[in-house]
Amino acid sequence: MFISNKFVTSVSNEVAQQREVTPDIVGCSPDFVVVGEIKKSLPREQQYWFDVLQQLKKYDDDLDAKSNNFNTGDHDIVLIIHHTLSRAFKKFFENQKEYIFKRNFVIVEFGFSPNLEEKIFLRTEYGKFKNKKLQNMLENGLPIPVNRVVDELSKLKFIDNEPPVVYTMEVIWLHALGPRSPLKRYRVGGRKFEIEVSVDDLHSTLNRFFAPKGTDLPRRAWIRSALDKFTEIGLAVRKTANTYTIKYGRLPTKGREIKEFLLWKLFEKERKIRSKSGFEEQKRINDFY
């Protein structure tokens, strides 16, 4: 089994023709091949769940492997999703008509069992694998020791599709900037301090710890967009095209998640810009008369 692998889609792909794709997971044996995505969480708004289906639909194709000596053809497509979301996503999938799969599509839920040896529990929620042995194992539920897979599952925060910019901002703030902070100063008093960063530096960190192996994810353009948004809301200063100074510290979230706070700050910034624009337009009208 491989966690991530590069493939190239065919000219007949219904979503992306002759494009490089990097599934989160590729399971390969002499008897079966499965290709798919892993999701620990989903956006609250179900309209964004179509992005997950669009990504999975790219794999509904004769994929040409770039980094391994096999091609996929008659493979199964799988979404491995946290058990708290599996039933809702199944219902969402069954009610939509935009993405219909030619190959077997299977939703597998996962959860954790806190025993002496913690295990991850996998079970099919929707669909069937062609391989009967695999189907029987997952239909009844398959416990796997966490230490075999949790490291790979937990670190994947970026896939092919560009995430919402506020998501990238949150990942940068928590996982790329947080470890660099003087912890005592961060915890006491909420004082901010400056951290010098570059797009390439952040890309190296995020790619190493939070992206599928063998990929260039997250794209540098995604990181630059996030840093520019930090600049817009006063949490960063752009120095050059690729370097920024971050004003890092405890955010006044008032109990909200950091991404909700960042989204609110971006909304406030946009509202002020529109309000100012409207005021200036009215002033020009008044001056005209």
Q: Which pair of structure tokens corresponds to residue 152?
A: 């790979």
Specify if 186 maps to a domain. yes
Is residue 108 domain-shared with residue 237, that is, in the same domain? no
Is residue 243 domain-shared with residue 191, that is, in the same domain? yes
Is residue 145 domain-shared with residue 237, that is, in the same domain? no
- For 240, the domain range is 165-274
User: Looking only at Cα atoms, what is the longest distance across the chain?
Assistant: 81
Report the number of distinct structural domains present in the chain. Answer: 2
Specify if 281 maps to a domain. no
Cβ proximity of 62 and 73 under 8 Å? yes
Is residue 28 domain-shared with residue 150, that is, in the same domain? yes
- Please report, in tens digits, the pLDDT of each residue of the chain (289 residues total): 444 467 889 999 999 898 888 888 888 777 888 999 999 889 889 999 999 999 999 999 988 875 444 556 689 999 999 999 999 999 999 999 999 999 999 999 998 776 656 778 899 999 999 999 999 999 988 887 766 655 555 567 887 678 899 999 999 998 888 766 655 444 444 567 889 999 999 999 998 888 877 678 899 999 999 999 999 999 999 999 999 999 988 888 777 788 889 999 999 888 877 776 554 544 444 443 3
The structure's pTM equals 0.53
Is residue 42 domain-shared with residue 12, that is, in the same domain? yes
Is residue 145 domain-shared with residue 199, that is, in the same domain? no
Instruction: Output DSSP code: residue 68.
Output: S
Specify if 223 maps to a domain. yes
Is residue 132 domain-shared with residue 175, that is, in the same domain? no
Is residue 150 domain-shared with residue 20, that is, in the same domain? yes
Is residue 207 domain-shared with residue 102, that is, in the same domain? no
Is residue 172 domain-shared with residue 206, that is, in the same domain? yes
Preceding omega of 182 cis (within 30 degrees of 0): no
Contact partners, residue 164, CB within 8 Å, separation at least 6? 43, 48
Q: Which pair of structure tokens corresponds to residue 229?
A: 């948004």
Specify if 212 maps to a domain. yes
Please report, for the domain that includes residue 232, its CATH number: 1.10.10
Q: Which of 155, 188, 214 is the last residue of a domain?
A: 155
Contact partners, residue 252, CB within 8 Å, separation at least 6? 190, 261
User: What residues does 121 pair with on adjacent strands?
Assistant: 111, 143
Specify if 285 maps to a domain. no
